[in-house]
Amino acid sequence: MRNNLLKRLISFVLSLCMTMGIMPFAANAENMTETKLIALTFDDGPNATTTNEILDILEEYNAKASFFLIGNNIDDKSSASVKRAYEMGCEIGNHSKTHPNMGSMSAEEIKTEVEFVNEKVYDITGEYPRYFRPPYIDTSQTMYENIDMPFICGIDCQDYMENVTAEQRADHILNGAKDGVIVLLHDAAGNSQTVEALRIAVPKLIEQGYEFVTLTELFRRQNETPKKNMIYTYVTKYPCSGYTKHKNIFIGEAKGEPSWSGWSKTAVLDVNFLEELGDSYAVEVEYSCEYEPVIALQKWSGEAIWHPVKPSYFNGSKACFLASDIQDSLESLGVSYTDLDRISVTPYGGNMTITNVDILMKNSVSENVMGDVNSDGKFDIADLIVLQNWLLGRENKLADWESGDLCADNKLDAFDVAAMRRKLLTV
């Protein structure tokens, strides 16, 4: 029965590819540029002016975004803007009823602020908001316990400051752009400089290979499930599927604020060892905290250095630092590994618990499995689904496109899907 189900699923996937016109499409090594995902988000609406001007730009470029509404700004006129955004495929989020500092509020006060907006959005769209952005990015444990939505932050583009020009706002967007980033902007009435900033930034981001997505699509496409007790600015894909554990650095339980002296002994990395590993290693940290850990580069002899390296990936329980993360910081500081007195894992904010730190090593090419396009070390139905989604434009990249080239013609198309199907049926 399992084999019959597998056959039906594979046949459906293949026929879907044919139906969608994928057969003529061939993606080869020369034209397979990676799509990067970016989530534009807007606070402090809705209104019938600025909100619609932003929607005009999004519509022009076939882009999606997410709008976080203040409940007291929702009226008959602004509701039309919300409905238009929703019908364009944009996402509607919750930014509280009155935009207060909520960190010191009681549970009942918090619920009143949030539920008011939820009901207003439901009346307009028929759906409740899925995400919450705290006013002033002010959070508390009481808020996390009483707001049943993921919390969203985003990179600060300073577009709430009148003295920041449209060009400067656009620069903040462009300089902060990276795959998986959430951009925090404002569609408050009269905020025309943000409208102009979008006219500058959006076409440039498209030229750079970015796709504008809603928050829900960002989490889905990056294969991440949002967690509680965490506020998101980046949603990146796990980068270490093609790595294996090489050495344990710390196991146990270390807990404290960044100022705790114990961090200097908890997870210290050998500078000589890291230098010998070159660019093929990663540091993986298991932790619990609202904020992500960092790797601190420290030098106290001569010219002092304390430089935090942020992880390439973190999700509230696991963080990954690629060798390139550390090497780029070393280059920017003008130092080598052995110039430093200490490299260690430490929290950058909040009360963090760290339970495990491992050095991972990138698998060699010889260890790659043919057909393993998601680089999880095995070939199975998941790889067929990933390849199908990529060909349909639902995935922004493949972890290992070459392993999917079963026809060995330096391109990916429906013929490779068919070859995967045959291979799966013999596994």
In this predicted model, which residue has the larger pLDDT, 42 or 395?
42
Residue that the structure tokens 């698998």 belong to: 363
Q: What does the pLDDT read at residue 134? A: 98
Q: What does the pLDDT read at residue 415? A: 83
Convert the pLDDT of each residue in 308-352 to its tens digit: 999 999 998 999 999 999 999 999 999 999 999 999 999 998 899
Q: How far is the C-alpha of 133 from the C-alpha of 47, rounded, in Å?
A: 18
For residue 104, how many other CB atoms are within 10 A of its CB? 10
- Of 202, 158, 160, 156, whose CA–CA distance to 183 is shortest? 156
Q: In terms of C-beta distances under 8 Å and separation of at least 24 residues, what long-range contacts does 217-226 make, across chains too?
A: 217/37, 217/64, 218/37, 218/39, 218/180, 218/182, 221/37, 221/394, 221/395, 221/396, 222/37, 222/180, 224/315, 226/131, 226/150
Architecture of domain 243-362: Sandwich (2.60)
Convert the pLDDT of each residue in 159-215 to its tens digit: 999 999 999 999 999 999 999 999 999 999 999 999 999 999 999 999 999 999 999
Residue among 95, 159, 179, 186 flagged as catalytic: 186
Convert the pLDDT of each residue in 271-295 to its tens digit: 999 999 999 999 999 999 988 999 9
Q: What does the pLDDT read at residue 210? A: 96
Q: What does the pLDDT read at residue 85? A: 98
Active site residue 380: no
Residue 14 clears pLDDT 80, i.e. is over it: no
Architecture of domain 2-31+366-426: Orthogonal Bundle (1.10)
Residue that the structure tokens 């199907």 belong to: 421
Integer Rg of the chain from CA = 24
Residue 420 clears pLDDT 90, i.e. is over it: no
Residue 27's pLDDT band (cuts 50, 70, 90): very low
Active site residue 43: yes
Residue that the structure tokens 């989020």 belong to: 93
Residue 156 clears pLDDT 60, i.e. is over it: yes
Positive or negative, the Cα torsion across 161, 210, 231, 145? positive
Q: What does the pLDDT read at residue 170? A: 98
Q: What does the pLDDT read at residue 211? A: 97
Residue 125 clears pLDDT 60, i.e. is over it: yes
Architecture of domain 36-232: Alpha-Beta Barrel (3.20)
Q: What does the pLDDT read at residue 8? A: 54
Q: What does the pLDDT read at residue 2? A: 46
Residues 6+ away with beta carbon under 8 Å from 416 = 387, 404, 405, 406, 407
Residue 28 clears pLDDT 50, i.e. is over it: no
Domain extents in the chain: 2-31+366-426, 36-232, 243-362
Q: What does the pLDDT read at residue 391? A: 85
Q: How far is the C-alpha of 206 from the C-alpha of 204, rounded, in Å?
A: 5
Average predicted confidence (pLDDT) for the chain: 89
